[in-house]
A and B are shown apart, each in its own frame.
Chain A
Amino acid sequence: MTFEGAVPTLEGVGLTIGAGEFVSLVGPSGCGKSTLLRILAGLMPPTRGRVMLAGEPPAFARKAGQRVAFVFQEPRLLPWRTVVDNIRLPLEFDGVAPAEQKAAVARSLDLIGLSAKDGAKFPAMLSGGMRMRVSLARALVTQPSVLLLDEPFGALDDVLRQQLNEELLRIWAMQRWTAVFITHNVSEAVFLGQRVLVMSRGPGRIVEDIRVPFTAREPALRAEPEFARLTGVVSKRLRGEAA
């Protein structure tokens, strides 16, 4: 459907993401970041153009065994299920044997830093940060090939956000899924991404693709001059100035 005079949400977005790459996506609110992520996931078809995941449109690739996990801004847990049962949910649809489900959930809990005691709790009993950990564990339990994160740590305080950034990278380094991470936070984008894509608004397009050359992403990195320089570049582009 096209509307006369309507401004498309996204336009001229050309993008290749390598397998196992960690890409950050920053842009002003309303620039279509979330729309782009949903199109990448195959949750909505693009009105024009195409998206390929492992050689197929994402909706097909998903049915053919490509695991696409999505982490929303809100944890989006099922309140009537315990933490363990929330993490187990994806496995129930795959017909995984109960014993195997239990082992996979336990691994996932451990990976994300939750105790077995936390596992028996209901989401309402957890803090915001803990709930987000559960949400991540639910995404990781499927052993995804692609992990799409839509501003997952936006509601958390800065210390907690940095902590979760570091843990996310630690897990990524072990499992090497492809990650697309949306954020408003420039320092988070530079810390996490091997590339930072900067988007602009109306219509949404990618205006800059910045390589982040760090190999070791330790917490101390945030104090390096090169880190400060890169956040400066991204911020500038974000404000619409030339780099």
Chain B
Amino acid sequence: MTPHGSLGRRIVRDIFPPLVFLVAVIAAWHAATVAFRLPPYLVPKPAAVWSVAVERFDRLASATGLTAAAALAGFVMSLVAGTVIAFAFSQSRLLRSSCQPYAVFLQTVPIVAIAPIIITWFGYGFRSVVLVSFVISLFPIITNATTGLLAVDRELSELFQLLNATRWQTFSRLRLPNAVPWVVAGARTSSGLAVIGAIVGEFFAGYGSNRYGLGYLIRQTSEQARTDELFAAVIASTLLGIAIFSSVNLVSSTVLARWNVRET
């Protein structure tokens, strides 16, 4: 678990430098607002962002929580649906050749363009936000899982053939485990996209009745020129993205270690 050196040395080497850099950036930010007399509606001081974050902590926390819930729901749906679709693709060449071009095509449609359509169909509220998050995070799972299910070593297939393994045995003991590292790699990309999808969804569809996520908060504070709170909301969404990405990363490294495959 400790690749190089002791814990103390790792803190000095891996954690200390970015921390110093962060402090330097905040100091420079503060200095710039003072030196250039930047008005608070353009660039608020770091201290002002901090105090509004503390003051409105409940509001910020509940918005972050709601966005996190939507992103996680979208991500889990992608993981399940993407794997099932990939399974179908892996089983039928006809299905693959007829559907895969559209999967690639859909991937290139900008998410901002899809969100209003989804809201037109499903209305405002949590459901639509989850759907937007789902749609944008689905495709990396499909493409990765399909590749993983099909990219089986030829000699290993021959081995299974020589051992008179049934189709199902070959799937469960060879294709599926072979796809795991691929699905894990797809899940990493997908988890980041799920957060983006949830925030974009909230831009267009609030939840109504005084419940809102970070996307709505960002839009509202921007329109009202409450830049200090806008900064706080943007930082919160960044932290949310980092939190979800690193949790998925942690899970995936654990899985990959268990699978004894090198990271790609």
Contact of A72 among B155, B173, B174, B260 (CB under 8 A): B155
Given contact pairs A93-B169, A124-B260, A76 touches B155 in the complex (Cβ within 8 A): yes
- B174 nearest CB neighbor, chain A only: A78
Q: A70 to B259, Cβ gap below 8 A? A: no
Q: How many residues of B contact A (CB 8 A)?
A: 20
Determine if B159 is an interface residue (Cβ-Cβ < 8 Å): yes
Q: For the complex, what is the distance from the CA of A68 to the CA of B162, rounded to whole Å?
A: 7
Contact of A69 among B162, B259, B260 (CB under 8 A): B162
Q: For the complex, what is the distance from the CA of A212 to the CA of B155, rounded to whole Å?
A: 31
Q: For the complex, what is the distance from the CA of A62 to the CA of B162, rounded to whole Å?
A: 8
**Which residues does chain A contribute within 8 Å of B165, judged by CB atoms?**
93
Near A by CB (< 8 A), chain B positions 215-264 give 258-261
Determine if B91 is an interface residue (Cβ-Cβ < 8 Å): no
Determine if A79 is an interface residue (Cβ-Cβ < 8 Å): yes
Determine if B2 is an interface residue (Cβ-Cβ < 8 Å): no
Determine if B35 is an interface residue (Cβ-Cβ < 8 Å): no
Determine if B177 is an interface residue (Cβ-Cβ < 8 Å): yes
Q: A79 to B162, Cβ gap below 8 A? A: no
Q: For the complex, what is the distance from the CA of A62 to the CA of B159, rounded to whole Å?
A: 13
Q: A93 to B164, Cβ gap below 8 A? A: yes
Determine if A226 is an interface residue (Cβ-Cβ < 8 Å): no
Determine if B163 is an interface residue (Cβ-Cβ < 8 Å): yes
Q: For the complex, what is the distance from the CA of A124 to the CA of B158, rounded to whole Å?
A: 22
User: Would you give the 0/1 interface string for A106-134, flagging 1 where the beta carbon is closer than 8 Å to chain B?
Assistant: 00000000000000001110000000000
Determine if B161 is an interface residue (Cβ-Cβ < 8 Å): yes
**Which residues does chain B contribute within 8 Å of A20, judged by CB atoms?**
none
Near A by CB (< 8 A), chain B positions 149-171 give 153, 155-156, 158-159, 161-166, 169
Contact of A41 among B162, B169, B260 (CB under 8 A): B162
Contact of B177 among A63, A74, A80 (CB under 8 A): A80
**Which residues does chain B contribute within 8 Å of A76, judged by CB atoms?**
153, 155-156, 159
Q: For the complex, what is the distance from the CA of A74 to the CA of B155, rounded to whole Å?
A: 9
